[in-house]
Amino acid sequence: MKLELRNITKRFGALVANDQISLTLAPGEIHSLLGENGAGKSTLMNVLYGLLQPDEGEILIDDKPVSFSGPGDAMAAGIGMVHQHFMLIPVFTVAENVVLGHEPTGVLGTLDLPAARKLVKEISDRFGFDIDPDAKIQDLPVGAQQRVEIIKSLARNAKILVLDEPTAVLTPQETDELMQIMRDLAKSGTSIIFITHKLREVQQVSDRITVIRLGKVVASPSPKASASELASLMVGREVDLNVKRKAPKLGAETLVIENLTVLDDRSHQMVDGVSFSVHDGEVLAIAGVQGNGQTELAEAILGLRKIHSGTIHVAGRDLTKSTVREVLEAGLGYIPEDRKKDGLVGDFTIAENLMLDGSYSAPFAKGVQIDFEARDRIANELIQEFDIRTPSAETLAKQLSGGNQQKVVVARELSRELKVLVASQPTRGVDVGSIEFIHEQIIAARDSGKSVLIISTELDEVLALADRIAVMYRGRIVGIVDAKTTREKLGKMMAGIAA
């Protein structure tokens, strides 16, 4: 089935999210869509899937104009979408999830489960998915859950699949399996639009690439283009993807975690007897698939989450039962995984956000009052130093791009007197240009003698920054290895196989 998007324009007030975008998708083709966050990729796919209506332009399938008033129309036309966050019901079986909304019926209109199982098995066998129709979703690993999402679309006769950041929650081995699945689907005639920020994956599977910047198509590079070339097209300037760093000069063990156990909000054990330490002048990275206790570990270190058992020490000081303020004052800096929820106040200005950790003391305060002159001076200095793209320090944080919001958080934390930096998903949702800058700042912190703990689900980021790598699986550390360890070995550890 051939797809054409012709001159698609979508506006939100004065913002033009898609500006005369045109692209085609041939039968059996994998067409990768690249662009920074906010470039307009998701808006374009929401137009294709019927979630948004275009202000201008048209969609053609097999050269015939179509109009979708909602996802049901798009699915009926043969378009399926696999979202980054799966749309599955955990307590239902695979078969029940696959037929949900278009259930086969038997006598008296009852659900024909044997027919549902047969449908799942036929698709699973055809593409080598190896999925049990009777397995409950909650019992399946993440990679298998994603295959169920693909089966859902194929069960509705999808000839075009949109995969939106499909590898964000996969191990390297699961990613390799997905790449093979995509190739097999394409050989069978299924067309795929592949949205990702991982350039390695784009190079692996793409038949064609379209780059979108600021809502416009700016290039259609060859699939043989280098990662640096692709990155430069995305941001409009040259980008160095190689993190430059020297061998570490190790000092004392400043952050020491011993036998730490942490529960989540439902009293489930998410961190299970974890122990590790980080030296001054070292980057220790915690790797693993999202949801294996990394979030709870970071929150416990900062004092945001109560510790069930175990201890946390920074420079010999016991912070196990300390408040967040006490932890910060002890010299710990924190870049949270969700900047909008935990890192910034959107309705505060950049200047106000840059003093959040220390508005009660010098240099931001004189007695009980804020020293506005000092606040503004420091804000302007940090805007320059950390390359925060903004009209002024009085701009509201919510008006900044994702990358610039993250730079505000990084600037605030690294401008304090620190002993330890904890950075959780430090480049999540930011463009490759901002990633380059943030990585440079993290290595600079390490080279200045700080202890740096990185928590990241991005294996490329872990390998680029880490001196040592600890892998978490189901709340435990399955091993701590040298940064020269292979991706294959790390992938096995991320699946729970001990080093």
pLDDT tens across 230-277, in order? Answer: 989 988 888 887 888 899 999 999 999 999 999 988 899 999 999 999
Instruction: State residue 196's pLDDT score.
Output: 82
Name which of 83, 74, 85 is nearest 52 in CA terms: 74
pLDDT at 486 over 70: yes
User: From CA 105, how far away is CA 211, in angstroms rounded?
Assistant: 45
Q: Which of 404, 26, 403, 402 is nearest to 393 (CA)?
A: 404
- The answer to whether residue 435 scores a pLDDT higher than 90 is no
Question: Among 92-106, 144-158, 361-375, 467-481, which stretch is predicted with the lowest mean pLDDT?
Answer: 361-375
State which H helix or E strand residue 5 sits in: strand 3-12
Residue 1: closest CA among 62, 59, 48? 62
Number of neighbouring beta carbons within 10 Å of residue 302: 21
* Average of per-residue pLDDT across 419-433: 87
pLDDT(293) > 90? yes
What's the CA angle centered on 248, arms 247 and 254, to 5 degrees? 170
Answer yes or no: CATH 3.40.50.300 is held by domain 253-343+417-494. Answer: yes
**What pLDDT shows up at residue 462?**
94
294 pLDDT band, cuts 50/70/90, is very high
Alpha helix locations (H) across 28-89? 41-48, 71-76
* DSSP track, 270-302: EEEEEEEEEETTEEEEEE--TTSSHHHHHHHHH
pLDDT at 499: 65
Higher local confidence (pLDDT), 351 or 166: 351
Q: What is the mean pLDDT of residues 398-403?
A: 84
- Per the DSSP assignment, residues forming a β-bridge with 93 are 136
CB 304 within 8 A of CB 279: no
pLDDT (average), residues 457-486: 93
CB 333 within 8 A of CB 418: yes
Pairing mode, strands 282-287 and 451-455: parallel
pLDDT band at 165 (very low <50, low <70, confident <90, very high): confident
Q: What is the pLDDT of residue 200?
A: 87
Instruction: Give the pLDDT mean for 144-166.
Output: 90
SS3 call for 136: strand
Tokens 């122990």 correspond to: 275
* Alpha-carbon span 441 to 477, nearest angstrom: 27
The correct CATH number of 3-235 out of 3.30.1050.10, 3.30.70.2860, 3.40.50.300, 3.40.50.450 is 3.40.50.300
Q: Is the dihedral of CA 375, 377, 378, 383 positive or negative?
A: positive
- Banded pLDDT at 368 (limits 50, 70, 90): confident
Q: Decide if pLDDT at 401 tops 80.
A: no
Kind and range of the H or E run holding 11? strand 3-12
**What is the CB neighbour count within 10 angstroms for residue 368?**
6
Number of Cβ within 10 Å of residue 238's Cβ equals: 11
Secondary structure percentages of the chain, helix, strand, coil, to 5? 35, 25, 40
Query: Across the beta sheet with 317-318, what order do the strands follow?
Result: 269-279, 253-263, 307-314, 317-318
Q: Which amino acid is at 216?
A: K
How would residue 194 be classed by pLDDT, with cut points 50, 70 and 90?
very high
By the 8 A CB rule, do 252 and 246 touch?
no
The type of residue at 65 is P
DSSP E strands, 224-281: 253-263, 269-279
pLDDT at site 446: 96
Contact criterion met (CB below 8 Å) for 471 and 494: yes
Determine the average pLDDT of the residues in 387-391: 88
Where does residue 334 fall: left (phi above 0), alpha (psi -120 to 50 degrees), or beta otherwise? Answer: beta
- Nearest-angstrom CA–CA distance, 490 and 171: 9
At residue 429, does pLDDT exceed 80?
A: no
Q: What are phi and psi of 65, to 5 degrees?
A: -60, 140
Q: Are 161 and 25 in contact (CB under 8 A)?
A: no
**Which pLDDT band holds residue 172 (cuts at 50, 70, 90)?**
confident
93 has pLDDT over 80: yes
Six token digits for residue 208: 């064609």
pLDDT of residue 403: 80
d(CA 458, CA 286): 10
pLDDT for 458 equals 86
Q: Average pLDDT over the chain, rounded to whole?
A: 91
Alpha carbons 395 and 217: distance in angstroms, whole number? 29
Per the CB < 8 A criterion, the answer to whether 32 and 49 are in contact is no
| Residue of 413, 339, 418, 350 whose CA lies nearest to 380 | 350
The size of the chain, in residues, is 499
Backbone angles phi, psi at 10, to 5 degrees: -135, 125
- How many angstroms separate the Cα of 108 from the Cα of each of 7, 34, 102, 105, 112? 49, 49, 16, 8, 10
User: Mean per-residue pLDDT for 298-307?
Assistant: 95
Please report the pLDDT score of residue 470 as a whole number: 97
pLDDT of residue 105: 84
All CATH 3.40.50.300 domain ranges of the chain, comma separated, are: 3-235, 253-343+417-494
Q: Please give the average per-residue pLDDT across 386-415, as a whole number.
A: 90
Query: Which carries the bigger pLDDT value, residue 235 or residue 10?
Result: 10
Predicted model pTM: 0.77
For residue 3, what pLDDT is reported?
A: 95
- Residue 196 CB partners (closer than 8 Å, separation 6+): 32, 34, 163, 165, 166, 167, 202
